[in-house]
């Protein structure tokens, strides 16, 4: 089978699991903003993103840099800084995301945009990783390489399930309608088939950039966690937000380690 088609099918599967996770929004009732359930969901999203930043992005970035004879920590450190600065700039350039009125309904849209944008950035290198894995299968003739690439896709797909939920559920608690919250969560994964296909086509030029791209996405995710999710989860007001962080972190850590 053509490697582009194999990559497209594999990354299509990872996208489908993201959408399936986002669909959890249809099964959870909406609570008034600021309630305990909202703190749990925001904390859960923060925990998922912290674990994904470390195990899915930073550790692979360090390992790939070491394999290429680079200073292992350099791409990770500079990539994080670049990812943070990029989202800071993104946050500052669009005043609509930072309304002066703290009670404005529009206030939540800044967090919404940053959350969706950060997870979408995180999904780009994941799609590229799957595409690169299939590009190294020798046109599909290396059966062991095909099996390894397929296993990678399955692992990423399963990890994507809680990520989809980590977007759609907090958005629903912010007052967004269920269909729109689902759409935001699902569409965050659509970049994986795109990135995977483009990577197969340009495999020879993309591999060297992977350590930097992985760390860049990690920096963006960590920025959203620290700047938006943790403050909004009100971790000091009771233990619900903290419990959500720990639950999300543990689930994502187990999935990353077990399936990585």
Of 253, 183, 191, 241, the C-alpha closest to 37 is: 241
**pLDDT over 70 (residue 141):** yes
To the nearest 10°, the Cα dihedral for 211, 215, 218, 219? -170
**pLDDT over 60 (residue 100):** no
DSSP letter string over 163-208?
HHHHHHHHHHHTT--HHHHHHHHHHTTTHHHHHHHHHHHTHHHHGG
In angstroms, the CA 17 to CA 11 distance is 10
pLDDT value for 110: 59
In angstroms, the CA 131 to CA 8 distance is 8
**pLDDT over 60 (residue 23):** yes
Out of 7-16, 84-93, 136-145, give the one with best mean pLDDT: 7-16
DSSP state, 225? I
pLDDT value for 111: 63
């Amino acid at each position: 089978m053509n490697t582009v088609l194999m990559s497209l099918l594999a990354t299509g599967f990872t996208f489908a699991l993201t959408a399936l996770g986002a669909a959890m929004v249809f099964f959870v009732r909406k609570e008034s903003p600021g309630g305990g359930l909202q703190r749990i969901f925001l904390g859960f999203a923060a925990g998922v993103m912290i674990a994904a930043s470390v195990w899915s992005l930073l550790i692979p970035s360090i390992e790939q840099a070491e394999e290429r004879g680079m200073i292992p920590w350099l791409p990770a450190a500079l990539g994080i800084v670049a990812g943070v600065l990029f989202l800071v700039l993104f946050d500052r350039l669009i005043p609509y995301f930072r309304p002066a009125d703290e009670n404005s309904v529009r206030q939540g849209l800044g967090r919404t945009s940053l959350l969706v944008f950060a997870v979408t950035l995180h999904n780009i290198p994941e799609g590229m990783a799957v595409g690169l894995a299939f590009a190294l299968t020798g046109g599909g003739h290396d059966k062991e390489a095909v099996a390894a690439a397929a296993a990678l896709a399955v692992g990423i797909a399963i990890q994507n399930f809680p990520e989809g939920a980590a977007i759609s559920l907090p958005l629903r608690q912010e007052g967004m309608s269920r269909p729109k919250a689902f759409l935001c969560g699902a569409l965050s994964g659509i970049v994986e088939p795109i990135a995977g296909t483009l990577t197969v086509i340009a495999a020879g030029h993309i591999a060297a950039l992977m350590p930097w791209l992985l760390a860049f996405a990690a920096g963006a995710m960590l920025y959203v966690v620290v700047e938006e999710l943790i403050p909004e989860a009100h971790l000091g007001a009771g233990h619900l937000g903290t419990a959500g962080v720990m639950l999300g972190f543990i689930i994502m850590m187990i999935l990353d380690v077990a399936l990585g």
